[in-house]
Amino acid sequence: MLTLILVLGFCLTFAQKDTLHKNSKTYFGIGFSLGRGSVSGTYGDVFLYAEQKSYYLVLKTSAIEEIKLFGSQPDLIVSDFSLIAGKRISLDQYNTFQVGLGISMFEQQTKGAIIPREGKECLFCSTNYEIIKKRQFAVPFEVRYHLNLDHTASLNLSFSANLNKLNSFYAISIGTTLGRLRDRIKKR
């Protein structure tokens, strides 16, 4: 937790004056990313964000889950639904960082006991398990780097974490964001 406070303090202290947005418009975007996390499986997130000046709000859902085409359900699925507030730090017109912290509803889903089938066993049937779900409030944290391609699209590299008592997780992912991300750059 101390590391998280130090990172946020550093970013807020050394953030340069915002040169990316010269108007007091509201900027917005929708994005997604895929990657790997600390829990076995594939990480994915989808988010909506709104930004004014250099502060932003994100509504985000993310999960880590094993993708199985055949067979039984995964052993463990972790997911969250988050509201994150943060600050954008502009390095130049193409490179920006977003650092945010918020609150989320965390859910952990695990397999329980095998549910017996009635009748005959079949060769190609999958085994059914009892599903155990646990929920609690948690603290999400994210650092997202944007490479702005133009004023409507960016490529992202992000580090996301969710701190909770059940099963804290982190993930590194790549993705894209689309929307009104910044002002047009006027050619001289």
pLDDT (0 to 100) of residue 72: 58
pLDDT (0 to 100) of residue 8: 53
Does some domain include residue 77? yes
pLDDT (0 to 100) of residue 86: 95
Number of domains in the chain: 1
Give the contacts of 20 (CB within 8 A, at least 6 positions apart). 88, 90, 93, 96, 182, 183
pTM of this prediction? 0.79
Q: Can you give the CATH number for the domain in which 147 is found?
A: 2.40.160.20
Does some domain include residue 67? yes
Does some domain include residue 188? no
**Residues 137-172: tens digit of each pLDDT:** 999 999 999 999 988 999 999 999 999 998 999 999
What is the span of the domain harbouring residue 131?
2-117+125-180
Q: Give the three-class secondary structure for 57.
A: strand
Does some domain include residue 187? no
**Residues 99-145: tens digit of each pLDDT:** 999 999 999 988 777 776 666 565 556 667 778 889 999 999 999 99
**Residues 74-94: tens digit of each pLDDT:** 678 899 999 999 999 988 888
Does some domain include residue 185? no
**Eight-state DSSP code of residue 16:** P
Does some domain include residue 84? yes
**Residues 2-56: tens digit of each pLDDT:** 545 555 555 555 444 555 555 658 899 999 999 999 988 899 999 999 999 889 9
Does some domain include residue 186? no
Average pLDDT value for the chain: 83
Does some domain include residue 76? yes
